[in-house]
Chain A
């Protein structure tokens, strides 16, 4: 069933809003990426590519960037993109009243402050910083922090955004809370030449209508794609893949840098001793954990650096080897006497399953685990306060290891969410933050990893793939390492 020119995609929850970058979540980022675009974007190889800007140039100390805009880019309302529009957007994002979620990455609270944005000419915008900003491009391309370029008419007098006007291949049509969000193909879209490439490249759309349907229940999602009431579903449980494939449904597994970890509270009395943490690491056979939880789909990875990243190499695999006997010996040395250690986990079926698996494995090394299930909001609250011993946590895909390290390393007193409070690591982090050369960065990232394997401030388990299932008639869908869906370039075969 379903109109041939409509694609129905299941989302597990409503998108947060259509105000990109301001009131956002992962779902709204994905949906809005079809509607709005940034100056630059990540390509499939996780390098940064042109999008609305056709080229850019930085000065030597990375304090000033000039972006040349692509000519003849049309907004959904027919207006043409100009440098003045870009300046208006950055002014809006830098205004605290807008509540741009990543404002701190631009106003100097994290990294150097963006001092001035000005139109050099109709097609050129200049960004000036107070201090060297070698990672500015990366910040611009980071999906959660992109200052998306929207047309000033999108914003009502009171600052609210209800009808977002962007430059993307689809325009926003309607949002029915609890039901769906619908996008319509933008006829005047000025696509880049070439092929599809991450969030960059050729984004010419072919399907006329995209409907993102809210389907909270996983069983209903898979039944929906089986009954052809849905065209695309994600978050597919590894166990159901076989059933879906048997019924002719296409299943795509796309590895991503999204990282599932066992957080270890190094301040907790039971886990303060590094030997105890090492014991826990030794008691877990990562390949077995990945296999048991992912049924062959997950890749074990103890490191911040994802195998998809250009910075990944042999050194990123360093980790205390699996050795349950050694683990109990180490634990004993650390003074562990079998007292239960709590494991915090959110009340989602697959997370709880993982907790059960970890409990079993640690149990066979004599480490006694007490599973504490909370809803996600409570876990996030405890995470925010650092109040846990062990916790199962998933970091959403950060396409550059620097961003990941930045959210791990720091002063626990100031930011309890930090996992790794260590002077040496902080020094290394500072160093890599100021570095632009890829080879040097790779070296520094792996030095950080080697240190992490020794200190065990956190135990990486595996990278989570995005498993997408699609009706047989859908052609041309492809995942990419960022793990988000892209429905430009997707077509539907005539039934």
Chain B
């Protein structure tokens, strides 16, 4: 097996495990991930609790599983929002050019130069430390880079002959944009979206560390990892398992993203 398919299968395998766990956790976990048990606080991994318990006696495995679902949900919704609006604005901006482009780009550059943290804080204050606040904040932060990529691609596509051909045929600009330009932005967008999935899991974790993460008691990989810091010398398992989960998921997503990029690269497909 060559590397390309090796990394594809490795990536796909890791990602499917993560998705499977997330699905499973929505209706079954070994314990109730929110149930406190003061008698078994900070129990080491063992037969009862495979990954030990945390400072409030909750089962780490169950929390990790439920956290998978939340983290994946946050990650996917953010990516979806960022991509949707990023593509919309990027495509409009690149396709219309002129004044609309300049205005949109000035706003976009402002967003890019704007630390995501302030945005997160603002939204946290408005929406509370909730998944939706984080999703909106991160989506805003990441949409601006999608805008850049898409706009660049669209500017390139505009000069491609098939877009010109559509205009010569007498198709309207809207039709051309929707039918010919947007579908051809998919490859770079998918590649970006896969890397974004990983960044967002990490960003949520850093936000949790600064106290801006998803509100407890709902577990996410990020807030589990961030919360484990105080217990690192007495209860290393609190950090190891979420850390491992993040690393493996990211490895999977990145490998898959690389493989997808290779597959979607038009130059790879061009040869008959």
Which residues on the A side are within 8 Å of B35 (C-beta)? 360
Which residues on the B side are within 8 Å of A288 (C-beta)? 38
Per-position 1/0 for B194-231, Cβ under 8 A of A: 00000000000000000110011100000000010111
Out of A218, A242, A292, A377, which one reaches B230, CB within 8 Å?
A218
On whether the beta carbons of B128 and A373 are closer than 8 Å, the reply is: yes
On whether the beta carbons of B231 and A371 are closer than 8 Å, the reply is: no
In chain B, positions 90-141 with a C-beta closer than 8 Å to chain A are 121, 124-125, 128-129
Which residues on the B side are within 8 Å of A357 (C-beta)? 36, 56
- CB of B172 within 8 Å of the partner chain: no
Per-position 1/0 for A361-373, Cβ under 8 A of B: 0000000000111
On whether the beta carbons of A373 and B215 are closer than 8 Å, the reply is: yes
| Chain B residue with the shortest CB-CB distance to A348 | B211
- CB of B234 within 8 Å of the partner chain: yes
| Chain A residue with the shortest CB-CB distance to B128 | A372
- CB of A240 within 8 Å of the partner chain: yes
On whether the beta carbons of A239 and B38 are closer than 8 Å, the reply is: no
A242 CA / B234 CA spacing, docked (Å): 9
- CB of A349 within 8 Å of the partner chain: yes
On whether the beta carbons of A219 and B229 are closer than 8 Å, the reply is: yes
Q: How large is the interface on B (under 10, 10 to 19, 20 to 34, 35 or more residues)?
A: 20 to 34
- CB of B55 within 8 Å of the partner chain: yes
Given A355-B216, A356-B36, A359-B217, are A374 and B129 also a contact pair (CB < 8 Å)?
yes
| Chain A residue with the shortest CB-CB distance to B58 | A356
Out of B42, B211, B233, which one reaches A347, CB within 8 Å?
B211
- CB of B232 within 8 Å of the partner chain: yes
A352 CA / B215 CA spacing, docked (Å): 8
Q: Within the complex, what minimum Cβ distance (angstroms) separates B195 from chain A? A: 29
A247 CA / B56 CA spacing, docked (Å): 24
Which residues on the B side are within 8 Å of A374 (C-beta)? 124-125, 128-129
Per-position 1/0 for A207-240, Cβ under 8 A of B: 0000000000011000000000000000001011
Which residues on the A side are within 8 Å of B36 (C-beta)? 292, 356-357, 360
Which residues on the A side are within 8 Å of B121 (C-beta)? 375
Which residues on the B side are within 8 Å of A292 (C-beta)? 36, 38, 56
On whether the beta carbons of B230 and A239 are closer than 8 Å, the reply is: yes
In chain A, positions 322-362 with a C-beta closer than 8 Å to chain B are 347-349, 352-353, 355-357, 359-360
On whether the beta carbons of A371 and B227 are closer than 8 Å, the reply is: no
A237 CA / B233 CA spacing, docked (Å): 13
- CB of A378 within 8 Å of the partner chain: yes
- CB of A243 within 8 Å of the partner chain: yes
A349 CA / B227 CA spacing, docked (Å): 7
- CB of A291 within 8 Å of the partner chain: yes
On whether the beta carbons of B216 and A219 are closer than 8 Å, the reply is: no
On whether the beta carbons of B233 and A243 are closer than 8 Å, the reply is: yes
| Chain A residue with the shortest CB-CB distance to B124 | A375
Q: Within the complex, what minimum Cβ distance (angstroms) separates B43 from chain A? A: 14
A378 CA / B211 CA spacing, docked (Å): 13
Q: Within the complex, what minimum Cβ distance (angstroms) separates B174 from chain A? A: 43
Per-position 1/0 for B224-251, Cβ under 8 A of A: 0001011111100000000000000000
A219 CA / B34 CA spacing, docked (Å): 25
A34 CA / B36 CA spacing, docked (Å): 44
Which residues on the A side are within 8 Å of B233 (C-beta)? 240, 243
| Chain B residue with the shortest CB-CB distance to A371 | B215
Given A373-B216, A378-B125, are A239 and B231 also a contact pair (CB < 8 Å)?
yes
Query: Of A288, A372, A373, which is in contact with the most chain B CB atoms at under 10 Å from its CB?
Result: A373
Query: Of A291, A347, A374, A375, which is in contact with the most chain B CB atoms at under 10 Å from its CB?
Result: A347
Which residues on the A side are within 8 Å of B212 (C-beta)? 347, 375
Which residues on the B side are within 8 Å of A359 (C-beta)? 217
On whether the beta carbons of A291 and B230 are closer than 8 Å, the reply is: no
Q: Within the complex, what minimum Cβ distance (angstroms) separates A370 from chain B? A: 9
In chain A, positions 372-414 with a C-beta closer than 8 Å to chain B are 372-375, 377-378
Given A357-B36, A373-B216, A375-B121, are A219 and B129 also a contact pair (CB < 8 Å)?
no
Which residues on the B side are within 8 Å of A352 (C-beta)? 215-216
On whether the beta carbons of B217 and A356 are closer than 8 Å, the reply is: yes
On whether the beta carbons of B56 and A373 are closer than 8 Å, the reply is: no
Q: Within the complex, what minimum Cβ distance (angstroms) separates A4 from chain B? A: 28
Which residues on the B side are within 8 Å of A377 (C-beta)? 125
On whether the beta carbons of A243 and B55 are closer than 8 Å, the reply is: no
In the A-B complex, list the 8 residue pairs whose CB atoms are closest, starting with the nearest.
Answer: A347-B211, A373-B129, A373-B215, A360-B36, A378-B125, A356-B217, A219-B229, A352-B216
- Would you list 29 pairs from A and B whose C-beta atoms are within 8 A, ordered by A residue? A218-B230, A239-B230, A239-B231, A239-B234, A240-B233, A242-B234, A292-B36, A292-B38, A347-B129, A349-B227, A349-B230, A352-B216, A355-B216, A356-B36, A356-B56, A356-B216, A356-B217, A357-B36, A357-B56, A360-B35, A360-B36, A371-B216, A372-B215, A373-B129, A373-B215, A374-B124, A374-B128, A377-B125, A378-B125
- Measured CB to CB, the residues of A under 8 A from B are 218-219, 237, 239-240, 242-243, 288, 291-292, 347-349, 352-353, 355-357, 359-360, 371-375, 377-378
